[in-house]
Structure 1
Amino acid sequence: MTQQQGYSVAFLIIFILLLAELGIVVSPFLPTILWAIILAQLAYPIYTKVLRRLQGRETLAAIVLTLGVMLLAVAPAVAVIIMGVQESLEAYKEISTWVEVGGLRQAGESLSKLPGIGRFIQPLMGRVIVSNGTVELSILEGSKWLSTYLMTQAGDLAKNAILLTANFFILLFTLFFLFRDGRRLYARLYEAVPLETTHKSSIFHHLSRTTTAVVRGTLLAALAQGILVGLTFALLGLPFPAFLGAVSVLLALLPVGGTALVWGPMAIWLLATGSILKGGILIVLGATLIGLMDNVLYYWITGSSARLPVLCLFFVSVGGMAYFGFIGLFLGPMLLAGVIAAFEIYEEDFPKDESDLLVKTNSQGRPTKADIHVQG
């Protein structure tokens, strides 16, 4: 090894160690930074339009768009919290009325008639429902506590969620600088990648297209599920269809549970109150149409938009969420896109045998590296 090679190896080792230490330092904020990068990439076309309208004033354009993102994120959350507080009070009134008119006893009778499990429920309800109304009183107190708890939590979330608020403002702070300086950062990163221009362009294009496709697929699938839940509740004459539909949109984004956290308890409630037909319809629609809508729409929209194999997309999405958390829903497909881009580069630059080579000559009659490619 020459002295110059030794210097190069030493520099590479030091550089890798510095990167590792930097990663450790920023690791607590890594999920927030990744979300900011994803949001900046999605909103950057809007930023360029705002920048043109503001005659190239980058700082002002970044402030305007960051405030816009903040309003889009905060307004729906506040609306859902307000609706939740209002609906919890209505729910308490309905539960109170239901218990007072003997709904609990009727629920026991209805559940005992269910095929298969009815014979187990009947003796249990006979022991639980007593004449002095202890259970009814407990349910009334429990529903009252639940509505009060929801109101308290709504207030606490606005006042005391310090960590959530801090992360949100860190995201906005990061987003502002990504909008303002993102073009220069991207250019430096692009130039630093030691690949040919066409290869770099292919990889970055794959990653950008995949990120947009994942966001589009996730949001459209969640919106479709929420609309279906709201329509189903409205058609069955169930309470709070608009609110529960909005909640379903948010819950559909969760990797576990999803909209089943909304229609599942409602189906149990219907069965318990004697509405066997409505409860059965809700279970069937929830388990089939509503439940499958997420998988079908998400993988169809994302796979077709990002041009990724649906089976591979399924595994990297589920595996990404299992390993990285919810951010893995984006990281998994992006890793898959990077692998596919690298494989395409391999197919172009590394022919299988000599018969696949076509060597062109440049103007001086000498072969160049860029003139070697695979004949498809």
Structure 2
Amino acid sequence: MKALNFEKHPGRVILLLALCLSAYTSYSLISPYIEPVIIALIFTMLCHPLHSWINNRLKHRENVAAALTCTLITCVILLPMFFIFLAILNQAASYSKSVLAWIQAGGIEQLVAHPWVSQVLQLAREWLPVDVFDSAKINQDLMALASSSGKQALSLSAQFAGSISSFIFSFVLMLFVLFFTLRDYHKLTDFLRHAIPLSRSQEDSLLQEIQMVSKSALLGSFLTALCQGIVGGIGFWIVGIPGLFWGTIMAFASLIPVVGTALIWVPAALFLLLTGEWQWAAFLAVWGVLVVGSIDNFLRPVLMNNISSMNTLVIFLSLMGGIHAFGLMGLIYGPIIIATTFVLFHLYETEFKEFLNYQDKH
């Protein structure tokens, strides 16, 4: 590789410093919108084969092909989400009414009167300095919440409207970026290959690893969560609990490492057991362990096979650290950052092989 000759050309140092400063400033400008941009880039890698097929069918009319690909993505993602969301709202509203009716009928008192619950509460009162459960106080709080439901609904409606507006803006921005990245895919990849100061083989290794890990992280996390939410919702529907609403909650819980869907179906099974429906409680427990749990054990490794070279502990830590640093998007960012670090370390070992071997011998 040709040397950069910084000593003979000190102006290059100034140029690189100015480039780094302007790049950081540019990032600061777009950082509030970085998540839709990154999602668009990942969708570009996922949908580029489809876009290429459409583009060939349309005889290389790039703008029309990119617009058609974005339209298909909108129809596949946004429209089903809209109708499912309306159904979830309807189911959640009816379920909240039935829960309130159960509380007003003395459900809390009956639950506390259960022998198992009484024993647990008695032990808690003996070993803990405070009363951890006061049914009268809980009833009072719940009734107060019911009486102020109008204000609560107004507040939630305002928050919901803000969330929907933010989601629509992010989705439109993602489609806007996706259109141009699909249309100019080859120009962008050629520019990156030219701008990155690495050999062609090193660039291929780095870009290929980022592409594979991005696809695997997206498919492994979100498709697994989707499947677990669907299967978990079916189990809840079978036992008589609103499946669409709790299946959606279970899909989000699936993204939480370690506990996952058990955070939802375990309390539901315990509730059924304590209310005397032990057959349905046993069914839900078996369903959660064997059916819902098997999806996480078998489907996720298959979808994330492109990062199987990473140690299981490393994958787990990358997911946990990613969630802690970036929220749900950390499920994608974490594996990408760790995998990129591994690739760069491998390139370092290859580039400095002679020096490292010399160091080992002395």
Question: 1: distance between equivalents of 2:35 and 2:232?
Answer: 31
Q: TM-score, normalised by structure 2?
A: 0.78
Residue 20 of structure 1, aligned match among 18, 24, 36: 24
Residue in 2 that maps onto 1:168: 171
1:257 and 1:169, CA in 2 relative to 1: closer, same or farther beyond 3 A?
Answer: farther
Question: 2: distance between equivalents of 1:3 and 1:109?
Answer: 83
Contact 1:85 1:150 in 2 (8 A): no
Residue in 1 that maps onto 2:72: 68
Question: 1: distance between equivalents of 2:162 and 2:12?
Answer: 54
Contact 2:55 2:62 in 1 (8 A): yes
Question: 1: distance between equivalents of 2:16 and 2:118?
Answer: 70
1:331 and 1:125, CA in 2 relative to 1: closer, same or farther beyond 3 A?
Answer: closer
Unaligned runs of 5+ in 1: 357-376
Partner secondary structure for residue 179 of structure 1: helix
Partner secondary structure for residue 353 of structure 2: coil
Deviation at residue 248 of structure 1 after TM alignment? 2.5
Question: 1: distance between equivalents of 2:163 and 2:356?
Answer: 68
Report percent identity of matched pairs. 23
Question: 2: distance between equivalents of 1:119 and 1:355?
Answer: 67
Partner secondary structure for residue 29 of structure 2: helix
Contact 2:219 2:304 in 1 (8 A): no
Residue 32 of structure 2 is aligned to residue 31 of structure 1: no
Residue 261 of structure 2, aligned match among 241, 259, 262: 259
Question: 2: distance between equivalents of 1:207 and 1:257?
Answer: 28
Out of 241-250 and 314-323, give the one that drifted further: 241-250
Residue in 2 that maps onto 1:107: 111
1:341 and 1:156, CA in 2 relative to 1: closer, same or farther beyond 3 A?
Answer: closer
Contact 2:232 2:292 in 1 (8 A): no
Which letter does structure 2 place at the counterpart of 1:308?
S
Question: 1: distance between equivalents of 2:111 and 2:356?
Answer: 78
Contact 1:103 1:273 in 2 (8 A): no
1:32 and 1:263, CA in 2 relative to 1: closer, same or farther beyond 3 A?
Answer: same
Residue in 1 that maps onto 2:223: 220
Which letter does structure 2 place at the counterpart of 1:43?
C
Deviation at residue 220 of structure 1 after TM alignment? 3.4
Residue in 1 that maps onto 2:302: 301
1:97 and 1:312, CA in 2 relative to 1: closer, same or farther beyond 3 A?
Answer: closer
Residue 360 of structure 2 is aligned to residue 336 of structure 1: no
1:306 and 1:146, CA in 2 relative to 1: closer, same or farther beyond 3 A?
Answer: farther
Which letter does structure 2 place at the counterpart of 1:311?
L
Question: 2: distance between equivalents of 1:332 and 1:49?
Answer: 32
Partner secondary structure for residue 184 of structure 2: helix
1:126 and 1:226, CA in 2 relative to 1: closer, same or farther beyond 3 A?
Answer: closer
1:109 and 1:200, CA in 2 relative to 1: closer, same or farther beyond 3 A?
Answer: same
Aligned residues: 349
Partner secondary structure for residue 217 of structure 2: helix
Which letter does structure 2 place at the counterpart of 1:174?
V
Deviation at residue 153 of structure 1 after TM alignment? 4.7
Which letter does structure 2 place at the counterpart of 1:157?
F
What is the aligned-residue RMSD (CA, Å)?
A: 4.0
Which letter does structure 1 place at the counterpart of 2:111?
A
Which letter does structure 2 place at the counterpart of 1:248?
M
- Deviations along 1:316-359, one digit per CA (max 9) or x if unpaired, are 22212212222222222222322333343344444357999xxx
Residue 191 of structure 2 is aligned to residue 188 of structure 1: yes
1:193 and 1:257, CA in 2 relative to 1: closer, same or farther beyond 3 A?
Answer: same
1:14 and 1:128, CA in 2 relative to 1: closer, same or farther beyond 3 A?
Answer: closer
Residue in 2 that maps onto 1:83: 87
Residue in 1 that maps onto 2:241: 239
Question: 2: distance between equivalents of 1:107 and 1:8?
Answer: 74
Deviation at residue 83 of structure 1 after TM alignment? 1.4
Partner secondary structure for residue 169 of structure 1: helix
Contact 2:213 2:306 in 1 (8 A): yes
Partner secondary structure for residue 194 of structure 1: coil
Residue in 2 that maps onto 1:311: 313
Question: 1: distance between equivalents of 2:161 and 2:73?
Answer: 19
Q: How does 1:36-47 map to 2 (within 5 A)?
A: 36-47=40-51
Unaligned runs of 5+ in 2: 126-130
- Kindly name which structure, 1 or 2, has the bigger radius of gyration based on alpha carbons: 1
